[in-house]
Amino acid sequence: MLFAPPLLIVLAIVAFYIFSSIKILNEYERAVVFRLGKLLPQPKGPGVVLVFAPIDRMMRVSLRTIVMDVPPQDVITRDNVSVKVNAVVYFRVMDPRRAIVEVESYHYATSQLAQTTLRSVLGQVELDDLLSQRDKLNRQLQQILDEHTDIWGIKVSAVEVKHVDLPADMQRAMARQAEAEREKRAKIIHAEGELEASEKLSQAASVIAREPVTVTLRYLQTLTEIASEKNSTIVFPLPIELLGMLGSIRKDR
């Protein structure tokens, strides 16, 4: 009976130690366990994992896709235009052991690598390509990041350039360029319309030259259209041929 209290204390300590050694991992989590400083061959989880401190040391790793915002970066494009560009990177841990052992902080390392890659890649393209070929640049950024993070057990699934902040004077210059481009297209369309109209008029003149009576029919049709508008004044076109006939009659007299 004298040893009962110390025995209960020991049992309570052992029970507490065993209880504290039980770790529960979610379906999307894996545990990287170091036993006496040596990495165990396989990650643990999901479910119940026994970790006996201080012999074991466990680090949780999430396998879900991580969405990381890349802060705005000052980029000078190939045609010497200074812009601010930010992006978003989607990546996930494929090998928890390498993500813990090969790099000190895979999240921070991926963020720094994304920032430097964004500046270096976008600095090699012109501003027009940066604005118009966004999909191509996104794929190029994704391939570069995925290649460099593969040794860390990380898979970069997508990179998206979110926003390109242009200087105010550059925005005004682009607005003037767009306006000039629209005026150019309008003039071209107008010129094409004039050319097509002249061709049709030339064909109509050829038909009228073969059949002079069509001129009179055209006059009558024009009068009909004018009369339908209920105008108080009607301008009646006088054919040149009629004037010539009147002149010849006066000469005969």
Per-residue model confidence as pLDDT tens digits over 45-73:
788 888 887 888 888 999 999 999 999 99
Query: Are 48 and 88 found together in one domain?
Result: no
Least confident of 31-35, 124-128, 129-133, 207-211: 207-211
Is residue 236 included in any domain, yes or no?
yes
Query: Are 166 and 84 found together in one domain?
Result: yes
1 pLDDT band (50/70/90 cuts)? Answer: very low
Is residue 194 included in any domain, yes or no?
no
233 pLDDT band (50/70/90 cuts)? Answer: low
Q: What is the DSSP string of 153-190?
A: TEEEEEEEEEEEE--HHHHHHHHHHHHHHHHHHHHHHH
Is residue 235 included in any domain, yes or no?
yes
- Whether residue 147 contacts residue 110, with contact meaning beta carbons closer than 8 Å, is answered with no
Is residue 183 included in any domain, yes or no?
no
Give the structural domain span for 105: 66-171
Max Cα separation, the chain? 163
Query: Are 27 and 41 found together in one domain?
Result: yes
Pick from 48-52, 167-171, 247-251 the range whose average pLDDT is largest.
48-52
Query: Are 74 and 160 found together in one domain?
Result: yes
Q: Among the three residues 117, 141, 171, which one is the final residue of a domain in this structure? A: 171
Q: Among the three residues 47, 62, 77, which one is the final residue of a domain in this structure? A: 62
Task: Look at the chain and report how many structural domains it folds into.
Answer: 3
Q: Among the three residues 62, 83, 104, which one is the final residue of a domain in this structure? A: 62
81 pLDDT band (50/70/90 cuts)? Answer: confident
Is residue 162 included in any domain, yes or no?
yes
Q: What is the tally of helices (H) and strands (E) in the chain?
A: 8, 8
Is residue 30 included in any domain, yes or no?
yes
| Residue among 93, 148, 155, 154 at smallest CA distance from 118 | 148
Query: Are 93 and 156 found together in one domain?
Result: yes
8-state DSSP, 79? T
- Whether residue 33 contacts residue 52, with contact meaning beta carbons closer than 8 Å, is answered with no
pLDDT exceeds cutoff 50 at 2 = no
